[in-house]
Amino acid sequence: EGARNIDPASESLVSPCDGAFGESGLVRDGQAFQLKGRPYGLRELLGSADDAAAFEGGAYATFYLSPRDYHRFHTPCAVQVERASYLPGTLWPVNRIGLEGVDALFAQNERICAFMRASPGDALLCLVAVGATMVGKVRLGFDSLETNRPGAREERRSYPGGIPLAKGAEWGRFEFGSTIVLLAPPGAVELEARAPGTPVRLGERIGRLVLA
């Protein structure tokens, strides 16, 4: 508590974790990039064509947590968590070797997708916690849903009325370093993107919510 300063501006979007910026940009033709020239499909990442369509033309940003980084992840703004999906899969490493060598890695690895209604602005954001080699579990702070379970099947949960979380509140953790992907619908956010590999700290401003 208090170890990181959370940017206080109500419209600011903040980094959800300590780590390094990965690829960022706009979703085009249902695709984002894990590295330059290495795309993956949002339909596969989210396990839903309808969910993928909601982010077409919107912004995405990727954050890599190395083994030495703080392993908990937090909200980028004040939110109401509406639903979450667990998608079983592989556990490829998410370091540069894995990103360069495994096609659509983020859409293959185990992951939890959390859909959150942003405040202010009411945009539906999605944060995807991607599992990796050596990740014992990805765990949520607001639900018992977790990854890396023998014989696990896809699960989808909804939270009627939403689960309110303040900006910078913890919503989950890796039990080893991995990756967070942030998705926003068209026109909802303006990202202040950085070059891949640029260090970033939890609570640091990375953009702003676009208010109508």
In sequence order, what are the beta bridge partners of 25? 60
As a whole number of angstroms, the distance between CA 147 and CA 168 comes to 23
Closest-CA residue to 78 (of 130, 7, 26): 7
Instruction: Give yes or no: 85 in active site.
Output: no
Closest-CA residue to 148 (of 120, 112, 116): 112
**Active-site annotation holder among 12, 15, 24, 178:** 178
Contacts of 164 (CB under 8 A, 6+ apart): 78, 79, 80
Instruction: Give yes or no: 24 in active site.
Output: no
**Active-site annotation holder among 69, 74, 85, 143:** 74
Backbone angles phi, psi at 169, to 5 degrees: -75, 145
H or E stretch at 53:
helix 49-54
Closest-CA residue to 183 (of 7, 56, 89): 56
Question: Dihedral sign, CA of 145, 162, 167, 24?
Answer: positive
Reading the block at residue 112, the tokens are 């939890």
Closest-CA residue to 41 (of 54, 28, 23, 24): 28
Instruction: Give yes or no: 74 in active site.
Output: yes
**Active-site annotation holder among 18, 51, 69, 143:** 18
Contacts of 98 (CB under 8 A, 6+ apart): 92, 105, 132, 133
Catalytic residue ranges: 18, 74, 178
